[in-house]
Amino acid sequence: MSSAVDLTIAQRKPIVKSGYQEHGKTCCAVGVPVLRDGALFGVIAVQLAVRADLDLRRVVDEVKWALPAMELRLVVRDLNEGALSQARARAAVELLAGALDEPRWSVAAATAVTDFCDRLACDRVALGRRHRRRSKVVSLSHSGNFQRSSELVQRIADAMDEAIDQGEPIRMPQDSDNTLTLTAAHQELIHSGVPRAVLTVLLRRDGRVTGAMVLERGGNNPFRDEEVELVEAVAGILGPVLEEKRLNDRALPVKVVAEIGRFGAAVLGPRKAGLKAAILLAGVALWFAWTTAVPFHITADARVEGEIRRVVASPLDGYVASAAAIPGDIVAENDILATLDDRDLRLEIARWNTVRAQRQREYETALADRDRAAIGITATQISQAEAEIALLEERLARTQLRAPFDGVVLSGDLDQSVGAPVSRGQVLYEIAPLDAYRIVLSVDERDLALVGEGLAGEVILTALPGRTFGVETGRVTSVAGVEDGRNVFRVDAQLPEQTNLLRPGMEGIAKITVDERPLLMIWTHGLRNWARMAIWRWLP
């Protein structure tokens, strides 16, 4: 018949198997699967001896008529199991609620054992913590203070050790099918007074046993299987909760020491080869960084400026007549940059030429008349007119603004200002020479103490990223400025070799070599300075 059952399970439909011998008789078997919502719950199989009047179709129909009764029993079983599961879950939540609400470990443990004692009708519930391969009772139900050295407490701790050492819960009276479990300590606890029923369950966290819980009550009321399942389920949640609260309640120094010990155990233990390799590599890298000295550089923003900057200002009040140069133009000495309107000056020169001609005629008339007084007066007037003309011609020449030397125009765009008025002394152009530059460094105040005259370095400009230029620091100014929210000081640097690739206004990054230091000192330079300031700020 077993083959008929297997065939029914495989095909999941009614089958009839006939013509096989069993106990010396020719038999046949009928198998009908019990299905519920498409799932196979079992098989109804009937074995019959073969007879002449045997109607197999009728047998199959009768078996099918029995299926509703079987399905009804399955429904009743599921309902009972669901109700039991709900009741068990409700009881577990009620047992855990009090312990979860308490922030401190000792209070949470006391609350848990008291709730277990009340809800499971126990006489006493004890909770212990595993420490150095020994159990220590930390909480007793309905008892805030108890003597940990008393004989009863020691027996409870021994019972906890017995269950923990075997790695399984112990229930007394012991089940008849569980005679291999050692229960000497539990027997001693039971017979120390009135016979009792005892249940010891383990508390775990991350697979590691952290303690145990011992429940006791009268011997005439032993712990049932469903109660054991409930206690074990609650203990599976209670163990991690209590251990987490205990770890959080430790003082900060204790936590630090524990973490160091845990890390040391992981490093020295037989596992975590990756961690050991990482620590070894970190140690080698640290040793290399401490023993290897490299140049220590200070980084600063750099800007190219002309060695000198010459201002071309308006020599007189007037108007812009024309503009021949704009910023960026390269000009030669005496090249005209711009001209001012000279019409008024030319009219004034023409007027004084007329005055001089008139005085010249008067002078000639006085000579003809031999009038000494008139000769002296007209001669003086002629000299005055010539002086005025010379002054006006000089002013006329100055209306042409010329480059004072070969260089590049830095500022002054008068091309859009033709006809605009200018006043005497107004700056119209700035010119720098082409063959004399300097580098201006903006050094952060945190690095200023390391900078002095005569330090060598290199600069890379944004316009020429493929080339480096050597520099040598010069004067360090004592006036601070603000750039990008930082206090910086200006340091002038000279270019040992001049080049025609540079232009005033170029910017870049400079690195000044201070000395040679270990890599570790260089990497932690900023951190050490910050730590010194922080310690100084917070020290009383």
**464 and 382: one domain?**
no
Residues 6+ apart with CB under 8 A from 325: 331, 335, 337, 338, 403, 409, 412, 429
The predicted pLDDT at position 83 comes to 44
- Judged against a pLDDT cut of 80, whether residue 481 lies above it is answered with yes
Q: Which residues pair with 444 in a beta bridge?
A: 488
> Average pLDDT in the 397-425 region?
80
Name the residue with higher pLDDT: 280 or 38: 280
The predicted pLDDT at position 36 comes to 65
Domain boundary among 430, 458, 489: 430
CA angle 114, 148, 131 (to 5 degrees): 90
What predicted TM-score, i.e. pTM, was given to this entire model? 0.45
**459 and 345: one domain?**
no
The predicted pLDDT at position 160 comes to 92
Phi/psi at 32 (5° precision): -125, 125
> pLDDT confidence of 413, banded at 50, 70, 90?
confident
* Domain presence at residue 267: yes
Exposure letters 391-420 (e unless 16+ CB within 10 A, then b):
ebeebbeebbbbbeeebbbbbbebeeeeee
* Domain presence at residue 321: yes
Distance, in Å, from the CA atom of 343 to the CA atom of 29, rounded to the nearest integer, reads 135
Rg (CA), the chain: 54
**268 and 318: one domain?**
no
Of 19, 64, 27, the residue nearest 48 (C-alpha): 27
The predicted pLDDT at position 84 comes to 44
Of 417, 415, 419, 405, the residue nearest 312 (C-alpha): 405
* Domain presence at residue 26: yes
> pLDDT confidence of 267, banded at 50, 70, 90?
low
> pLDDT confidence of 192, banded at 50, 70, 90?
low
**170 and 197: one domain?**
yes
The predicted pLDDT at position 86 comes to 54
Q: What is the CATH number of the domain that holds 324?
A: 2.40.50.100
The predicted pLDDT at position 179 comes to 61
**319 and 411: one domain?**
yes
* Domain presence at residue 184: yes
> pLDDT confidence of 88, banded at 50, 70, 90?
low
- Mean confidence (pLDDT) of the chain: 81
* Domain presence at residue 296: no
Domain boundary among 430, 453, 484: 430
Domain housing 329: 310-430
* Domain presence at residue 97: no
**486 and 506: one domain?**
yes
> pLDDT confidence of 249, banded at 50, 70, 90?
confident
- Judged against a pLDDT cut of 60, whether residue 404 lies above it is answered with yes
Distance, in Å, from the CA atom of 306 to the CA atom of 304, rounded to the nearest integer, reads 7
Sequence-distant contacts of 220-229: CB under 8 A, at least 24 apart: 221/121, 221/197, 222/171, 222/173, 222/197, 223/171, 223/197, 223/199, 226/84, 226/88, 227/120, 227/199, 228/169, 228/171, 228/199, 228/201, 229/88
The predicted pLDDT at position 195 comes to 65
> Average pLDDT in the 218-243 region?
83
**22 and 41: one domain?**
yes
Distance, in Å, from the CA atom of 188 to the CA atom of 59, rounded to the nearest integer, reads 61
Q: Check if the beta carbon of residue 473 is closer than 8 Å to that of residue 491.
A: yes
296: DSSP letter: E
The predicted pLDDT at position 475 comes to 85
Q: What is the tens place of the pLDDT at every residue in 356-379?
A: 888 888 888 888 888 888 888 888
- Judged against a pLDDT cut of 70, whether residue 76 lies above it is answered with no
**263 and 227: one domain?**
no
**137 and 169: one domain?**
yes
Domain boundary among 234, 249, 264: 249
**135 and 31: one domain?**
no
The predicted pLDDT at position 214 comes to 92
* Domain presence at residue 302: no
Domain count, the chain: 5
> Average pLDDT in the 449-477 region?
88
**64 and 111: one domain?**
no
223: DSSP letter: P
> pLDDT confidence of 74, banded at 50, 70, 90?
low
Q: Check if the beta carbon of residue 501 is closer than 8 Å to that of residue 464.
A: yes
- Judged against a pLDDT cut of 80, whether residue 37 lies above it is answered with no
- Span of 83-87, 275-279, 426-430, 501-505 with lowest mean pLDDT: 83-87
**341 and 376: one domain?**
yes
Distance, in Å, from the CA atom of 59 to the CA atom of 54, rounded to the nearest integer, reads 9
> Average pLDDT in the 46-66 region?
72
The structure tokens listed for 469 are 């230029």
Concatenated DSSP letters of 355-378: HHHHHHHHHHHHHHTT-HHHHHHH
Distance, in Å, from the CA atom of 128 to the CA atom of 125, rounded to the nearest integer, reads 10
> pLDDT confidence of 511, banded at 50, 70, 90?
very high
Percent of residues, the chain, with pLDDT higher than 90: 5
* Domain presence at residue 93: no
